[in-house]
Amino acid sequence: MNPTYLIYTAIVLVAIGTALVLTRKSLLFILIGIELILNAVNLNLVAFNHLYPQNVNGQTTTLFIMAIAICETACGIAIMIQVARQYKTITPSSIQDLKEQA
Amino acid sequence: MIQFVFYFFIFLTLASAFALLFVRQILYAVLLLLVVMLCVAGLFILMQAEFIGVSQILIYAGGVAVLFIFGIMLSDKKGFSFTKVAYTQIFSGMGIALVLGSLLLYATQAVKKLPNEVKVKNDVQQLSFELLSDFALPFEVTGILLLSIFIGVAYIAGKTNHTQS
Amino acid sequence: MSQSFILVSLICCLPFAGMLMNLWLRKYVAYTSTFFLFIINILVFYFINQHETQIETSLIWFKLQSFSIELNYYINRDSILLLPVVSIISFLVHVFSIGYMAYEKSLSRYFNGLLFFTASMLLFVCAGNLIVIFLAWECLGLASYLLIGFYREKTEAGFAALKAMLLNRFSDLLLLSAIILMFAYYQSFNLKEIIDSQQTLPQLVGWMLLLGVLAKSAQFPLMNWLPSAMTGPSPVSALIHAATMVIAGVYLMIRLSPILPLSVLHGLTTIGSLTALLGALAATQQFDVKKILAYSTISQLGLMMAAVGIASPQAAMLHMISHAFFKAGLFLGVGALIHHLEENRVNKEINVQDIRNLGAPYKSYPYTFYTILIFSLALCGIPFTSGFLSKEYLLTQAWNSKNSLSIFYFVFIILTSTITVIYTTRLIVYTFFNKSKENFNSASSEKKPVFLFPLIALSIASFWWIINFNPFHADFYFFSKTTFTTPVWLTIGSTLFFPVLFFLAFRYFNSRDISNSPNQLLLQGFALDNLQQKLFVQPTLFIGNLFLSIEKKWIDGFIHVMAFATVLFSHIISFLDYWLVDGLVRMTYKASYTLGGWVRVSRSGYVQHYLFWFLFTAVLFIIWVLF
């Protein structure tokens, strides 16, 4: 039960989440990647809180992060639904409106 | 025994996360995410953060997974165009993820071994005290945030685009 | 300023006042003002005649350092005689014009011209300073020009005016030079000082003076403008080209005669005699009524000029005055006749001035006929007319003169008078006694007082009593008491000769039709027009064309080369501007555009690309922190 492994796990989760965010073609996958990264952060916080149990700041912060994560997911999916209505696609590479109109 | 459960959860987490990279069906991806979440919740409980673990199960398994499934229902339709992702993007994304992961692993080498066992008591009580005293304001703000997000999401998702439809 | 200065100025300025008033009071002012002028002149006439023999009065006009030009009058017996004559005739012509010009449109222009002329003539008569004389002289020329060209719609009127102007300018140039040389010689412009100095003019100046007055008085080489000037209205011909303006040259010569050198006097006699004969000859062949009278005027002016030449200015003066009355009368009479005939002609194409078309029965126009007859008799020199007496005086002076040319002149007078009788009779007969023509209706309209009053007044002034009570002695009332004797044979001879000649000529012309084949040389006034055309106009045109071609070839060529060079230079400048100055600017913006393009490539618009770059930067940051 060495928390060091949890930290390694968190790092791997971050890398996988990053890869998901960068490479997948669906907005849902991107959201899943973000969830993975946030979970890795939570994992880290809980592991360190386990090592230093004088206070429970780690766990408190985890709670807040969870709240914000659920907010972010809800927002993301709402936006995704709107995008699906608007562009008939949820592939981010098809949506280029940030670029100047060439 | 507990040691075994610990490593098993870690393994299951990493394996499901790794499988996420290669899954094409989005429903499977959501199920794999759910596995990851549950495993992480197990790890939280093993780390004496039972309240957090329970919250994780409640929120992610009960909330986020349902949200994702509704998202799939509302967006994944036939007739949508799925352009192929360029290989350069895949390789560069993978590459940057690998580099990032290995850099972070290298950075944690400095920590070396953390202390193995720490005797701590189970203190959900302390957590609740902290939340309602020191973190009272963020707690309230989070409540307001949740409310406004609830309204905002309902507004955004409910808005129909008349020009398109 | 003396009283007399004001009085004389008043004489000269009254017509100007009339001109000003004419601008808004129209035609009635013109003859009213000349009537007042006439009365004032009569007053001046008596005033001066009773008190003084001469008036010399002045006002400083402007100053040139120590030297001042004066506006002065010099009035002697000649001026005193001429002033009333001018004003009376001017007045009568104004009255006549009311009827004659009744149907014209620009009446105020016409009357302004007449008044301007009258003012200039009076100023000329009174002027006692060569500068003022020249000023008035030019004003006369201008008035003449304006009035000859009065009928603007007629092309030949414009050409006639131009011809008169040009010939007069030629003479005026010589006159001005003569005046300047006279100033150099006498150191004064003052006429009285010059004459009182008793110094004879240098030959050159005298001849220039002689040539200077030729055109104005229509003498031989420069006389052809006068017949052309007859395109003006008839009253204008009467006032300007018969009675007053054309005598200006003679009058100037009379004024300067005390200082003229002998050769110039001989020149005057020669030219005058020649002009008299040539004018009379030309008059015999004319068909235009007014041209006959114009040549007649030329001829009579020649006699006056010649009279000055034989040192007898008094004779010239006398003939001038009698001639002024009867010749003005002739022109007015002919004008009245033309006016009546124009109203009664059968169709509009009949030229009423051509004696071949005339043949108006004299019984239809009795007043016109009889007044014209009286004037004609005066012109012919029939006894009991003023013309007889003045001609008698001319002959006497020519006979008595010790001048070497006087016999020559005597013969010329007799010749000219004979021819004068012939052409005058021709005019009368073909105008009134030609029965075969039916160009005119017989309706009479001549009893208009505006026509009759001037004619009757002038015919009264054409009898012997305006010169002397004795119809056979030409001792004028106003001459100084130098008695002279006319040879008895001369009086008897001319008394018998001219009436007999008149009678014979009348019989001759009455019995035969008008000759339709005149002598072309005489008809065209000795081809002076052609001569002047060849001598002056064509060389001038040639020189003009020469300069034109030089201008076109060289000056325009130079300008074209300059223009070409300028255009070329501008092209070079524009090339440099396009590639150097603009090129720099274009290079700057193109460089920025290209750089921007490079930078813009990274802004792909894909969310994942942005994220990639964000993470790439994060990785770099981590590397920097760790190592």
Residues A65-93 have pLDDT tens digits of 999 999 999 999 888 888 888 777 777 76
Residue B92 within any structural domain of the chain = no
d(CA C73, CA C124): 9
Average pLDDT over chain C, rounded to whole? 82
Residue C402 within any structural domain of the chain = yes
Over its C-alpha atoms, chain B yields an Rg (Å, rounded) of: 21
Q: Are residues C231 and C287 in the same domain?
A: yes
Which long-range contacts link C476-485 to residues 24+ away (Cβ below 8 Å)?
A: C476/C314, C476/C318, C476/C393, C478/C49, C478/C77, C478/C80, C478/C81, C479/C314, C480/C77, C484/C396, C484/C397, C484/C400, C485/C396
Q: How far apart are the first and last CA of chain A?
A: 57
Q: Are C204 and C177 in contact (CB under 8 A)?
A: no
Residue C626 within any structural domain of the chain = no
Q: Does B62 touch chain A (CB under 8 A)?
A: no
Residue C491 within any structural domain of the chain = yes
DSSP string covering chain B, please?
-HHHHHHHHHHHHHHHHHHHTT---HHHHHHHHHHHHHHHHHHHHHTT-HHHHHHHIIIIIIIIHHHHHHHHHHH--TT---PPPPHHHHHHHHHHHHHHHHHHHHHHGGG-PPPS-------HHHHHHHHHTTTHHHHHHHHHHHHHHHHHHHHHHH---TTT-
| C608/B89 CB distance under 8 A | yes
Q: Are residues C502 and C570 in the same domain?
A: no
| C626/B106 CB distance under 8 A | yes
Which of A14, A21, A26, A79 is the best residue to mutate to test the C interface, defined by the most C CB atoms within 10 Å of its own CB?
A: A21
Q: Are residues B131 and B69 in the same domain?
A: no
Q: Are residues C521 and C607 in the same domain?
A: no
User: What residue numbers bound the domain in which C327 lies?
Assistant: 3-526
d(CA C24, CA C530): 45
Q: Are residues C157 and C205 in the same domain?
A: yes
Whose tokens are 């403008």? That residue is C225
Q: How close is the nearest chain C Cα to the Cα of B106, in Å?
A: 9
Q: Are residues C433 and C569 in the same domain?
A: no
d(CA A36, CA C54): 142
Residue B140 within any structural domain of the chain = yes
CA atoms lying within 13 Å on the CB side of residue C442: 5
Q: Beta strands of C225-317 (E only): which ranges?
A: none
d(CA C331, CA C291): 11
Q: Are residues C466 and C570 in the same domain?
A: no
Where does a domain end: B46, B77, B108?
A: B77
Average pLDDT over chain B, rounded to whole? 83
Q: Are residues B14 and B71 in the same domain?
A: yes
> CB C274: neighbour CB atoms within 10 A?
17
Q: Are residues B58 and B128 in the same domain?
A: no
| B82/A12 CB distance under 8 A | no
Residues C425-448 have pLDDT tens digits of 888 888 887 765 666 766 666 677
Residues C546-561 have pLDDT tens digits of 999 998 888 888 999 9
Residue C620 within any structural domain of the chain = no
Strand pairing of C67-75 and C55-64? Answer: antiparallel
| Low-confidence winner among B17-26, B109-118, C167-176 (lowest mean pLDDT) | B109-118
Which of C602, C610, C611 is the best residue to mutate to test the A interface, defined by the most A CB atoms within 10 Å of its own CB?
A: C611
Residue C625 within any structural domain of the chain = no
The DSSP letter of residue C243 is I
Q: Are residues C598 and C498 in the same domain?
A: no
Q: Are residues C482 and C587 in the same domain?
A: no
Is the pLDDT score of C359 beyond 80?
A: no
A49-77: average pLDDT = 87
d(CA B82, CA A38): 27
Per this entry, what is the length of chain B?
Answer: 165
Where does a domain end: C496, C511, C526?
A: C526
Q: Are residues B66 and B135 in the same domain?
A: no
Is the pLDDT score of C14 beyond 80?
A: no
Residue C392 within any structural domain of the chain = yes
Q: What's at C373, amino acid-wise?
A: L
C129-155: average pLDDT = 89
Whose tokens are 């500068």? That residue is C131
Whose tokens are 């002009």? That residue is C275
Q: Are residues B73 and B124 in the same domain?
A: no
Q: Beta strands of C29-175 (E only): which ranges?
A: 55-64, 67-75
Residue B67 within any structural domain of the chain = yes
Integer angstrom CA distances of residue B96 from A40, C174, C540, C545, C616: 18, 116, 105, 98, 7
Is the pLDDT score of C626 beyond 90?
A: no
Residue B42 within any structural domain of the chain = yes
Q: Are residues C199 and C266 in the same domain?
A: yes
Residues B142-163 have pLDDT tens digits of 999 999 998 998 888 887 755 5
Residue C623 within any structural domain of the chain = no
3-state secondary structure B86-121: CHHHHHHHHHHHHHHHHHHHHHHHHHCCCCCCCCCC
- For residue B2, the domain's CATH number is 1.20.120.1200
Residue B87 within any structural domain of the chain = no
| C607/A95 CB distance under 8 A | yes
Q: What's at C353, amino acid-wise?
A: Q
Q: What is the pLDDT of residue B165?
A: 44
Is the pLDDT score of B79 beyond 60?
A: no
**Degrees, nearest 5: CA angle C30-C35-C37:** 95
Q: What is the pLDDT of residue C567?
A: 95
Tokens representing A43?
Answer: 């994992």
C580-608: average pLDDT = 85
Q: Can you list the domains of chain A with their CATH numbers?
A: 3-90 (1.10.287.3510)
Count the domains in chain C: 2
Residue C67, strand partner residues: C64
Residue B115 within any structural domain of the chain = no
C341-346: average pLDDT = 76
The DSSP letter of residue C350 is -
Is the pLDDT score of C423 beyond 60?
A: yes
User: What residue numbers bound the domain in which B31 lies?
Assistant: 1-77
Q: Are residues C228 and C185 in the same domain?
A: yes
Q: Which residues of A touch B51 (CB under 8 A)?
A: 59
Q: What is the pLDDT of residue C478?
A: 65
Residue C624 within any structural domain of the chain = no
B72-95: average pLDDT = 73
Q: What is the pLDDT of residue C395?
A: 85
Count the domains in chain B: 2
Q: How close is the nearest chain C Cα to the Cα of B126, in Å?
A: 36
Q: Cα–chain-centroid distance for residue C82? A: 19
d(CA B138, CA A60): 10
Q: Are C274 and C214 in contact (CB under 8 A)?
A: no
Q: What is the pLDDT of residue C87?
A: 82
> CB C516: neighbour CB atoms within 10 A?
7
Residue B93 within any structural domain of the chain = no
Where does a domain end: C493, C526, C559?
A: C526
| B100/C616 CB distance under 8 A | no
Q: Are residues C480 and C596 in the same domain?
A: no
Q: Does B59 touch chain C (CB under 8 A)?
A: no
| Low-confidence winner among B77-86, C310-319, C456-465, C481-490 (lowest mean pLDDT) | B77-86
**Closest of C344, C343, C332 to residue C368, by C-alpha:** C332
Which member of B92, B106, B107 has the closest CB to residue C612?
A: B92
Where does a domain end: C510, C526, C542?
A: C526
Residue B86 within any structural domain of the chain = no
Q: Does C620 touch chain B (CB under 8 A)?
A: no
The DSSP letter of residue C514 is P
Q: Are residues C412 and C290 in the same domain?
A: yes
d(CA A24, CA B85): 7
